[in-house]
Every structure is written in C-alpha cells, then in structure tokens.
Amino acid sequence: MAGNGSARKIYRVGMLGFGTVGSGAAKIVLESTPPLPDKTGIDIRLHKIAVRDAKKPRAVALDKKLLTTDFESVVHDPEVDVVVEVIGGIEPARALILAALKNGKAVVTANKALLAMHGKELFEAALASGSSIGFEAAVCGGVPVIGAVRDGMVANRIESIHGILNGTTNYILTRMIEGRAPYAQALYEAQSKGYAEADPSTDVRGVDAAHKLLLLSNLAFHSMFDFGELHVDGIEGIAIEDVTYAAELGYTMKLLAIAKRRNPGADPDEVPGGIEMRVHPALIPFAHPLANVRDVNNAVLIRGDATGEVMLYGRGAGMMPTGSAIVADIMDAARGSAKQTFTKLQFFQNPRADLPVIPFGKIRSRYYVRFSVMDRPGVMGKLATVLGQFGVSIASVIQKEPHASGDVPIVMLTHNTIEDRFREAVAEIDKLEFVRKPGAFYRVED
C-alpha cells in the first residue's frame, strides 16, 4: 500500500471479471457521494481489471488502460493490494484466488459456489499466507448477513437460521401466490424481467440457496460442513393448486433454507442431537416474519440464545446491492480489520464431533399433503388408518368438490412426525386402488 504525500492511504484494487457485480463495485468506487476517501480516509483506486473481451461496451465509464485480458497478471501484480473475484464458477476462479493468496494479497469474492465447494482449501491458504478472504457479497447481496452472524451475534449460541436466500425463486413463488400464475408462466415472467437466467436450474433446484446456507451455517455453528450433507429440493414441481389450498389453510409457500440445532429426542427412532440443514419449499403461516418477503427480496431470520429472533431483509442480488457488499469488504481489507477478523475466525479448523448433520429422513416436521382419490365412501377413514399405522397424526383436513375428471382432492395437515415415517405412509397410500395420483406433500415450518 503506497502513500501519496497526504494523510490518505491509497489502496489498489485488481478485479477478476467485470460483469454486473464488478460494474456495481466499480461504480461505487468511482461515483460514491460523498467520495469514499472523504468518508473513510482511504483512497480506493481501481488498478487493473481482467476481462475476457476488452472491446465489449461497459456499464461504467472508466479508463480503457485499466483493462487486460491477462487474468494472471492481476494476481501477480506487485502493486495490487486486494484482488476482487467476480467471474464466478469454480475454475479458473479457484486457481486465481489461490495464486493471489500465495502472493499475500487480500481477496474479496462473491462466489458462493466456490466457497461452498472449496472453502476449506481457500480459507486455509489465506490463513497460511497471513491474508484474508472477504465474502459478504456471497450471501444476500447488499444485506450484511455475514457480518451480522460473524460479528454482531458472536456473543450468541445460534439456535436456528431460516432464510429466503434466492430472489429468483422468491419472485416465481410470489407470482404463483399473488397472480395465480402456474409455475411455467411465473418462470417465463422472471426470465423476461431479467430475474432468472436462460438456464435457471441452479436457482429453481435450490442449489444457489444451499450454497449460501452452507456459508451461513459454517459461521453460525463454528464448524465446516460439506455441501453433500445438505438436503436440497427445488420448486420445479409445485402445482398452483397446492399454493391455493395452502392459502385456504392460512399458509404461504417459500423456498426456505433451514439450519437448526436439534436436541436428542425420546423417540427410539430418533438420532442423537445435531444440526438439521436443508433447502426445500415449505409452508409458513401468514403471521410468520418471512411470510411477507416478496418478489426478489431476501431475508434471514436468526435465533440466538441471547438476542432471540433477529431478521435481516433487503435485495439479495443485483448490480448495486452486491457491489455495495464488495466495496464494504474492500474497505475492511484496506483498514486492516479483515486480516484481524480472519485470523481469529478459524471455524474451518474446528472439530465437528458434537455437531453431526442429522440425516434428512430423521428430521421432524409437520406436513401438508394432497391426495387425489376416487369419490367413494370410506376413503377418508382408510387414509387416516394408514397414516396412523405409521405414527402420523392428522391435525386438519379439507375435502374439496370433485374435479370434472371425478377426482376428489383431499388436503391434510399433520402433527409433527419423522420424515421417514411420513414418506413410508404416503408411499403406502399411493398403492391403494382408489388413489388416482401420487400424493403431493410439503413440509410446514411454524
């Protein structure tokens, strides 16, 4: 870091990639009002930006001399103080970050997939080099949830995290709930507005939310979990009728990312205590704090033993919100606080002996289930009998008028039960000769 003869420090930034997020960060550095040096006493300078096509039009006006197509030159440039990685994906991002860390440079990244899959390797490389990795932008864009969990709630034993962590799926579900749009139509609207990619699979299958949940869980529970330990379901199969019936029962549907401690239970089928980690569509009551998180917004509800429930809410993606988080991490690195925090934050080296991830089949939940059956006497009693045989207790029932096809929808809410038992019960019911279609079910988070 070089001085310029004044009291202000000059801190030079090298960027890997200059798409939407990189452009947002650059715009803030160049156009912030009041200027960043006036607010912070540190003069952040864009020094070198690696792009695949140097001739491509840019969303931010900048000196073309800053651009290079040589990505390696950024991480090896001795004048670069911090490397900002916003190219996404696994490679070459992983190799470039490792090279930057080896050269003693601070790193800032928004790459949740890379950190979820290779976080331990990267964090240990940063610790060995005496550097740091800032990743506030990797979860919820401009919502400072990483800092809140890492620093603001450090005095707490985190009990649970419930998050709406993907704006694309939240927009789709909002359109299904409020506009009664079928899934395919809601996805098309999201794509036409730029909220969903041409290939939306990472979002709609829940993978993006799962990457983010893993990072939050690592921090919240002071351990390093493996991505393969999470259960992940997406929203592709949600039928508009289930959204409608859920509303009649007083619930809305969200793609929830959930991590929570569970104490050992008395049931002989239950496992010892540990952590539940899962991403899936779930019903939540209208009065739930997350129920009114609409459109592309994200929110995280965290319960600590000292604070109780704390909720953070805002836009989870986009040029300026995510760019804001990138610049905040750059400032932490420039002040020296990022290195101090990272040196003390060694969750990736902690033992996991007392925090096993509970197998998904052993989670406990309430369930919404819809059966499509023939219109004949005794059906309801038979359904209740089979559920009871597997220890599943019914809390409430709605029987709808027959469809034109003659099928009768029967919608139930259950009391708490174990996932494996519930699935076994539904599988047994699906074999009954009066059942017209396999049962559709979703978990309920009260």
Q: Give the C-alpha separation, 19 to 86, whole Å.
A: 8
Lowest mean pLDDT among 114-118, 147-151, 301-305: 147-151
Residue 2 pLDDT class (50, 70, 90 cuts): very low
**Could you tell me the residue ranges of all domains in the chain?**
9-142+339-347, 152-315, 363-444
* 151-190 core/surface letters (b: 16 or more CB in 10 A; e: else): ebbeebebbbbbbbbbbbbbbbbbbbbeeebbbeebbebb
Residue reference for tokens 């709930």:
177
Interhelix angle 207-220/112-129, rounded to 10 degrees, is: 30
Q: Is the pTM of this model over 0.85?
A: yes
Query: What is the reported pLDDT for 259?
Result: 97
Residue 402 has pLDDT above 90, yes or no: no
Q: Residue 57's pLDDT is what?
A: 86
- Does the pLDDT of residue 40 top 50, yes or no? yes
148's CB contacts (< 8 A; 6+ apart) are 302, 310, 312
Q: What percent of the chain has pLDDT over 70?
A: 95
User: Is pLDDT of 3 > 80?
Assistant: no
Check residue 351 and give its pLDDT: 65
Class of domain 152-315: alpha beta
> Looking at residue 15, what DSSP letter applies?
E
367 band by pLDDT with thresholds 50, 70 and 90: very high
d(CA 299, CA 34): 29
Instruction: Please state the rounded mean pLDDT for residues 240-266.
Output: 92
Residue 4: pLDDT band with limits 50, 70, 90: very low
Domain at 363-444: CATH architecture = 2-Layer Sandwich (3.30)
* CA dist., res. 12 & res. 80, Å (int): 5
Q: Which CATH superfamily is domain 9-142+339-347 in?
A: NAD(P)-binding Rossmann-like Domain (3.40.50.720)
Average pLDDT, the chain: 92
Among 416, 377, 427, 418, residue whose Cα is nearest residue 399: 377
Dist. CA 65–CA 16, nearest whole Å? 15
334 sits in the region (left: phi over 0; alpha: psi -120 to 50; else beta) called alpha
Which of the pair, 321 or 3, is modelled with greater confidence?
Answer: 321
Task: Report pLDDT for 5.
Answer: 43
Residue 312's closest CA among 209, 165, 214, 435?
165
What is the C-alpha separation between 303 and 423, in angstroms, rounded? 29
| Long-range own/partner contacts, residues 198-205 (CB < 8 A, 24 or more apart) | 200/168, 203/166, 203/168, 203/169, 204/168, 204/169, 204/172, 204/234, 204/235, 204/236, 205/232, 205/234, 205/236
Region 174-195: mean pLDDT is 95
pLDDT at position 406 over 50: yes
Residue 8's pLDDT band (cuts 50, 70, 90)? low
> What average pLDDT does range 358-383 have in this prediction?
94
Predicted local distance difference test score (pLDDT) of residue 268: 66
pLDDT higher than threshold 90 for residue 404:
no
Instruction: Answer whether residue 7 shows pLDDT above 70.
Output: no
Give the model confidence (pLDDT) of 300-354 as tens digits.
999 999 999 999 999 888 889 999 999 999 999 999 998 888 877 766 666 666 7
- Given 9, 212, 254, 362, which residue is catalytic? 212
Terminal C-alpha separation, the chain: 51
377/291: higher pLDDT: 291
Strand 274-285 relative to strand 251-262: parallel, antiparallel, unpaired?
A: antiparallel
What pLDDT score does 172 carry?
A: 97
Q: Among positive and negative, which fits the CA dihedral 284, 290, 291, 295?
A: negative
What letter does residue 347 receive in the DSSP assignment?
G
* pLDDT of the residue at 82: 97
Q: Report yes or no: 284 and 257 within 8 Å, Cβ to Cβ.
A: no
Q: Which has the minimum average pLDDT: 170-179, 240-249, 402-411? A: 402-411
Active-site residue 212, yes or no? yes
Longest dimension (CA), the chain: 90
Average confidence (pLDDT) over 257-283: 86
Of 29, 226, 221, whose CA–CA distance to 118 is shortest?
A: 226
Neighbours of 357 (CB within 10 A): 20
Percent of the chain with pLDDT over 90: 78
* Distance of alpha carbon 155 from alpha carbon 137, whole angstroms: 23
Beta strands in 158-317 (DSSP E): 158-164, 231-232, 251-262, 274-285, 297-304, 308-315
What confidence tier does 446 reach under pLDDT thresholds 50, 70, 90? confident
Cβ 323 vs Cβ 24: under 8 Å? yes
